[in-house]
Amino acid sequence: MKALVLSWPVRREHAKVRRSLRWLAMSLAFGGLAAGAPALAQTYPAKTIRFISPGTPGSTTDIMPRLLAPELGRRLGATVYVDNKAGGSGMISAQAMAAAPADGATLYLSTVGSLCIAPHVLAGFPLDLKDYLPISLTASLPLILVVNPKLPVRSVQEFAAWMKANPDRATYGSAGAGSTSAIAAAVFGKAAGANVIHVPFRTMQLAADSIIKGELTFLVSDIGVIAAKVKEGALRPLAASTAKRSALMPDVPTFAESGYPMDITLWYAVFMKTGTPAPLAERMINELSSIMATPEIEAKWRDLGLETGKLHGAEFAKYYQAECKRWAEILPPLGIKE
């Protein structure tokens, strides 16, 4: 078996991606977006701030902004409320952010899937990446490959052999085409040389329930969705998608340890609308970086199986740019389309 190496060589230039990301250089050079600058003393002008979430109530992408909102509101002298815009592989929430005015009154929690992966796999990708101003990396975590315990496999190698012996039976769920979970499953299928069939759901919780019922074969899910179900024995974990094992599931080997070199990290980050006045963007960067460093948030993130984000402002913009370029190199040669 030829192992899949995610640092896939670039076969051609991706001019469209370069144009979409060029605006990032401007924010990197703009001194006002450097994390660590002194916070503005005056009261934040927006008294009501909308925090757009791509998740359904109770999901990780819903819980995070709800935990951040009270302290952020206190520091800004404003009311921060969460607006759930789930569905559409994350495009509904992303489009809501793009439609918002650049007045500092709207925040958007995105994932790597919506802004770095979806452009290369979704037909008719509806977003213009220049609309999104990177503010703060809030969290990251591994994805975990899980199967129903009744499936006669206990390792990634055994599961790969099962998929080859049972063609067209390897079905996987996700929160929609273009989501990180869907891409990770498709990448694994390619590496295993198996034909895997995608079945999208509105939420990852519904997809996990379908695995438990025996309706689907496998799922590559963020750890927060499946941790309790794994503990109960309702799901069997086989591999973690990151380079290192998860601290929450240290007994689960990585894909690389199992012979499938891949490193896929699911990250969450806050964006504002490009064109937001620099002092307001700077204030938001400073407040979020300060909140993310508090022991209270770090403890709550650990309970969710999350690693606290440490990159803000210009540092996060550099990371975001690098991630988008990395996926622009990885995905086109694989031919994964949704």
Q: What is the DSSP string of 222-283?
A: EHHHHHHHHHHTSSEEEEESSSS--SSSTTSPBTTTTT-----EEEEEEEEETT--HHHHHH
pLDDT above 60 for 260: yes
Mean predicted lDDT score pLDDT of the chain:
85
Overall average pLDDT of the 325-334 stretch: 86
- Hey, do 15-141+266-334 and 142-240 end up sharing a CATH topology, with the first three levels equal? yes
pLDDT tens-digit map of 105-142 = 999 999 998 999 989 988 889 999 999 999 999 999 88
* pLDDT greater at residue 327 or residue 24: 327
The token pair that represents 5 in the structure block: 């190496």
CA distance 204 to 194: 23
CA 332 to chain CA centroid, Å, is 19
Candidates 3.30.479.30, 3.40.190.10, 3.30.1490.20, 3.30.565.10; CATH matching 142-240 = 3.40.190.10
What pLDDT, on the 0 to 100 scale, is given for residue 178? 73
pLDDT tens-digit map of 140-161 = 988 999 999 999 999 999 999 9
pLDDT above 60 for 283: yes
Q: What are the φ and ψ backbone dihedral angles of 185, each rounded to 5 degrees?
A: -65, -40
Per-residue pLDDT band for 247 (boundaries 50, 70, 90) equals confident
CA distance 156 to 188: 10
DSSP letter, residue 113? I
Q: What are the φ and ψ backbone dihedral angles of 199, each rounded to 5 degrees?
A: -125, 100
- Greatest extent of the chain over all pairs of C-alpha atoms, in Å: 66
* pLDDT greater at residue 35 or residue 116: 116
**For tokens 């924010």, what's the residue?**
27
Class of domain 15-141+266-334: alpha beta
Of the candidate ranges 16-30, 62-76, 192-206, the one whose mean pLDDT is the lowest: 16-30
The residue ranges of every structural domain in the chain are 15-141+266-334, 142-240
What pLDDT, on the 0 to 100 scale, is given for residue 338? 67
The pLDDT > 70 percentage for the chain reads 87
C-alpha separations of 165 from 34, 153, 236, 258, 274 in Å = 54, 12, 20, 19, 50
pLDDT above 60 for 218: yes
The token pair that represents 23 in the structure block: 């605006």
Overall average pLDDT of the 274-283 stretch: 96
Contact in structure between 105 and 316 (CB atoms under 8 Å): no
60 Cβ contact partners less than 8 Å away, ≥ 6 residues apart: 222, 224, 225, 268, 304, 306
What pLDDT, on the 0 to 100 scale, is given for residue 205? 86
CA distance 46 to 38: 19
pTM: 0.77
Q: What are the φ and ψ backbone dihedral angles of 117, each rounded to 5 degrees?
A: -100, -50
pLDDT above 70 for 30: no
CA distance 260 to 163: 15
**For tokens 């929690």, what's the residue?**
109
Q: Which secondary-structure segment (H or E) carries 96? A: helix 91-99
What pLDDT, on the 0 to 100 scale, is given for residue 177? 72
